[in-house]
Amino acid sequence: MQQDTGYYVIKRQAVPEVLLKVVEAKKLLESGKVKTAAEAASRLGISRSSFYKYKEDIYEFHDSLQGTTLTLTFQMNDEVGLLSYVLNLIAEFGANILTIHQSIPLNGVASLSITIQVLPTTRDIMEMISKMENVEGVHKVHITGRSATLS
């Protein structure tokens, strides 16, 4: 039996309008066209609370992530071997690690940002993220950056 990843692919017409507006609000913020979440929400006609409720759970689907760099952010418990396990998982999926930034752990939890290069031989990135999220001590993995890989 196949494990539930917690991810679904649905057609745009089936996505509630508020979720589509959250994606648009995130784009406005990332592009610098607006300075605050409140401004983005107001411009799109949604409440600020709706934006914050869904902003971590909806991302635009890209048919292929090949030829890109991705920045993953998450928090991780400060436990011996946990970072090593996550890095090995990335290697197991065939992605190339470009940068790793880790904060000093506060209250036993560190913030991390890892930038990876998706190669032609890299396996399914969403499956990799799902496996990372299922590791005890790793909290909410997010793709926070995406760009074309320079050759």
Helix then strand then coil, in percent of the chain rounded to 5, is 35, 25, 40
Per-residue confidence (pLDDT) for residue 151, from 0 to 100: 43
Per-residue confidence (pLDDT) for residue 133, from 0 to 100: 93
Q: Is residue 45 part of a domain?
A: yes
Q: Is residue 62 part of a domain?
A: no
125 CB-contact burial (10 Å; exposed 0-12 / middle 13-18 / buried 19+): buried
Same domain, 42 and 72: no
Q: Is residue 3 part of a domain?
A: no
Same domain, 75 and 34: no
Per-residue confidence (pLDDT) for residue 80, from 0 to 100: 96
Cα-based angle 48, 49, 55 (whole degrees, multiple of 5): 85
For residue 25, give both structure tokens.
């609000």
Same domain, 98 and 139: yes
Q: Is residue 61 part of a domain?
A: no
Same domain, 41 and 102: no
Q: What parts of the chain have a pLDDT lower than 70?
A: 1-5, 61-67, 148-151
Q: Is residue 63 part of a domain?
A: no
Strand partners for 143: 72
Q: Is residue 104 part of a domain?
A: yes
Q: Read off φ and ψ for residue 40, nearest 5 degrees.
A: -65, -45
State which residues form the domain around 24: 12-54
Q: How many domains does the chain have?
A: 2
Per-residue confidence (pLDDT) for residue 5, from 0 to 100: 67
Whether the pTM exceeds 0.85: the reply is no
